[in-house]
Amino acid sequence: MAEEVRVKIPLGKEELELKIEVPESHVRIALSKDERSERSFEALTKDALERPIGTRSLKELRCGRSTVAIIIDDKYRPTPAYRILPTLIEELILAGFKDEGITIITGTGLHDPMDEEEVAKKVGDEIASRFKTIVHNAYRPGEHSFCGFSPLGNPVWINRAVAKADMKICIGRIAPHGDAGYEGGAKMIVPGVSSLETVMHNHAMFLSPHAGIGTLEENPGRKDMDDIGGLVGIDFILNFVIGNDGKPVKAFAGHYLKAHRKGVEYGDENVWGCEIGKRADVTIASPGSEPQEGLGPNLRGIINARRGTKPGGTIVYILPEIEEAKEGRPPENPPPIVSELARAPIERVLRRMERREWEKPEDWLHIMRAAAGKARYWHHKLILTGERVSKEVIENLGASYIEAPEEAVRWALKPYIGSKPKILILPEALKTLPMEQFHRSPLRSS
């Protein structure tokens, strides 16, 4: 009789029991520690500023400087700048900076620019009225300064207000990112306050098989970001490791690389990561016990599953009952180019990207996202199972669909009959980043 393992997969409030015909020793169930905290952004900010990592304090860094640019993330990131800026600015004032020397710049990247109301909501009414605020626009060359070339050959233009500031401080969050590996650090400069041309050059590197969620130095796009951060002179960062509940867990301040890497290390070990050793031949995953609203956010678990699956391996992704999944509705009012790119084969999308074939520059973001999205699934087979999804969704992901989860698992294991495949179970794929090993910085304490 064949060996059999039974595993329980949460599907929202329900639970699915699967029978997998492999030896138990070949199955690994991966769960993150999912650490959470009740400490406030204000308290974490104060603690981090008192203990900067890899650099001097803000007071010591001032050293005759009179202007400072504070780069914050934009409306599409949940970081509450209005809760962080008062403590940071108080430290800057104590260090000797004057109100008129402090400028706040939104790291908008290629996103839609923020209006005055959105800026005030992000930074708080008092901060917005007291200090100069600038909304970065990547599509206005007249507002950018040329800073030279990155080691990977990227011509670097950044927001002029950032370039000319005596001190540059970046505020943001640290969380896994599907292309750049992780948010935070120098990502606030690229794409945050860079020109369209610089972002285009950088983001094309995310097509590399070495890019993707949970990557750092091996990711050429991330390396380019970090190199540019050094080129333009980031003096200080204040980054927050964010828990799966959206609340801050810990803050890291200081050198833009050293503090960021310590934050990544902490998040890997305590919040989102799980060490698995070698990658799996077959990964079986589901969004977990707390699925998100709508189909799109629940599909993000596939990105985590890819991190734990060998190139050429198979991902079986089990979907719970989701309204959008049943009806297959696309996002509300997407630009026509989004649907067009979704239907196009990867070769056509890549040619449009490389030839700069667009009607307006803003279209490049959609082209890049489509290319990167299709490239993500190029190296793995993907089977969707469970709740039915539309044909359009299946085609967009380059997936196949098998309604019954046990049948989907049997199909995924067929190529391994007679062998002993390594199986990875991700019962909480939205909360768990499977990694061969955690990142460990040189500053790691013994």
Q: Are 166 and 315 in the same domain?
A: no
Same domain, yes or no, for 210 and 70?
A: yes
Residues 319 and 201 both lie in one domain: no
> In this structure, are 181 and 45 located in the same domain?
yes
Report yes or no on 443 lying in a domain. Answer: no
CATH of the domain at 107: 3.40.50.11440
Residues 86 and 115 in one domain: yes
- For residues 71 and 209, membership in a common domain is answered with yes
Q: Are residues 358 and 395 in the same domain?
A: yes
**In which domain, by residue range, is 90 found?**
41-271
Quick one: 262 and 233 in the same domain?
yes
| Whether 68 and 10 share a structural domain | no
Q: Is residue 218 part of a domain?
A: yes
Q: How many residues does the chain have?
A: 446
Write down the pLDDT at residue 325.
Answer: 43
Q: What are the distances in angstroms from CA 228 to CA 130, 190, 199?
A: 31, 8, 11
Query: Collapsing DSSP states into helix, strand and coil, what is residue 391?
Result: helix
With contact defined as beta carbons under 8 Å apart, do 189 and 225 qualify? yes
What is the Cα–Cα distance from 268 to 308, expressed in whole angstroms? 14
Q: Is residue 290 part of a domain?
A: yes
Give the domain-ending residue among 271, 297, 312.
271
348 and 305 in one domain?
yes
C-beta neighbour count of 28 within 10 angstroms: 18
Contact 105, 71 (CB under 8 A): yes
Instruction: Flag whether 446 is in a domain.
Output: no
Domain limit, last residue, from 271, 296, 311:
271
Is 184 contained in some domain? Answer: yes
Q: How many domains does the chain have?
A: 2
One domain, residues 310 and 174: no
- pLDDT per residue rounded down to tens, the chain (446 residues): 468 899 999 999 999 999 998 999 999 999 999 999 999 999 999 999 999 999 999 999 999 999 999 999 999 998 999 999 999 999 999 999 999 999 999 999 999 899 999 999 999 999 999 999 999 999 999 999 999 999 999 999 999 999 999 999 999 999 999 999 999 999 999 999 999 999 999 999 999 999 999 999 999 999 999 999 999 999 999 999 999 898 999 999 999 999 999 999 999 999 999 999 999 999 999 999 999 888 889 999 999 999 999 999 999 999 998 765 444 444 456 788 888 898 898 999 999 998 888 888 888 888 998 998 888 888 899 999 999 888 888 888 889 999 999 999 999 999 998 888 999 999 999 999 999 999 986 544 43
Instruction: Write out the H or E segment, with its range, that includes residue 260.
Output: helix 258-267
Q: Which of 271, 302, 320 is the last residue of a domain?
A: 271
The contacts of residue 382 (CB under 8 Å, 6+ apart) are 302, 314, 315, 317, 397, 398, 399, 400
Residue 407 in domain: yes
pLDDT at residue 326, rounded to an integer: 47
What pLDDT sits at residue 323?
60
